[in-house]
Amino acid sequence: MAGGKPVVSTDLPEVGSFKDVVAIARDRAEFLVYIEMSLGNTRQEAVTQRVKVAKENPVESRAEVKINMLEALGRWSGVHMFLNSYLFGWRKLNIRKSDRVLEVGSGNRPYIRSDVLCDKYFGGQDERGGPILVDRPFVVCDVTALPFADNSFDYVICTHVAEHVDEPEKVFEELMRVSKRGYIETPNRYCENMAISGFPKSQNDVNSSR
């Protein structure tokens, strides 16, 4: 529609408000008729009207409405952690649209904004909530020796990883080396003890950082 082209749709609730510029068919026969009619509708005033409606209803604004609805859902439902932390949490991390983002220790629920994922293990980790998710570029590596050149990324995310490493300072050095900015999060001993039985083997006393 943004290009002024005619649009034919089935009778969907979401399309009802665009009935002045969209041909809404109630059955198969009507759909075919509307397609034929639309192909011949090249009147300039119709084209102008479709472009105008598209500009008034950009994809970004519709997406924002849906995101706000999902965030509201996350505030009162049991899916709060997934929606607000992994799906939308990155929006609070000062990540720019143009940033190339690395996530270290991505596990089974990487942030949706991460462009490249890396983890050391594919399985056998008791603290994971499920198998590692590999749905984008993925690198198997050790956080203390990341296989990336200096400043390869604009932003790095590393949550609940440093407390599992014997020398957490090496983790921080590597994260700062490969990225210009970033976010590091670790649990404190109280929260870790409340969440799981026992501590990671290294039992590093790394204070919670947000």
- For residues 94 and 168, membership in a common domain is answered with yes
Q: Which two tokens stand for residue 171?
A: 């983790």
pLDDT at 192: 55
Instruction: Please list the pLDDT of the chain residue by residue as tens digits (210 residues).
Output: 566 777 888 887 777 777 788 888 888 888 888 888 877 777 888 888 878 877 776 655 555 665 565 555 555 444 444 444 555 566 678 888 899 999 999 888 888 889 999 998 766 555 566 788 888 899 999 999 999 999 999 999 998 898 888 889 999 999 999 999 999 988 766 655 555 544 444 444 444 443
* 209 lies in some domain: no
- For residues 94 and 118, membership in a common domain is answered with yes
Q: Distance between CA atoms of 170 and 181, rounded to whole angstroms?
A: 17
pLDDT at 1: 55
Q: Which of 68, 87, 106 is the last residue of a domain?
A: 87
* 210 lies in some domain: no
Q: Which two tokens stand for residue 70?
A: 């999902």
pLDDT at 145: 93
- For residues 52 and 93, membership in a common domain is answered with no
- For residues 33 and 64, membership in a common domain is answered with no
* 13 lies in some domain: yes
- For residues 126 and 179, membership in a common domain is answered with yes
Q: Are 165 and 204 in contact (CB under 8 A)?
A: yes
* Domains in the chain, number: 3
pLDDT at 173: 95
Which residues have C-beta within 8 Å of that of residue 149, sequence separation ≥ 6? 178
- For residues 189 and 140, membership in a common domain is answered with yes
- Whole domain around residue 78: which residue ranges? 59-87
pLDDT at 90: 64
- For residues 97 and 148, membership in a common domain is answered with yes
* 176 lies in some domain: yes
Q: Which two tokens stand for residue 130?
A: 């499920």
3-state secondary structure the chain: CCCCCCEEEECCHHHHHHCCCEEEECCHHHHHHHHHHHHCCCCHHHHHHHHHHHHHCCHHHHHHHHHHHHHHHHHHCCCHHHHHHHHCHHHHCCCCCCCCEEEECCCCCCCCCCCEEEECCCCCCCCCCCCCCCCCCEEECCCCCCCCCCCCEEEEEEECCHHHCCCHHHHHHHHHHHEEEEEEECCCHHHHHHHCCCCCCCCCCCCCCC
Q: Which two tokens stand for residue 189?
A: 């001993």
Q: What is the pTM of this model?
A: 0.54
Please give the C-alpha separations between residue 95 and each of 23, 43, 112, 193, in angstroms, as whole numbers. Answer: 41, 45, 12, 31
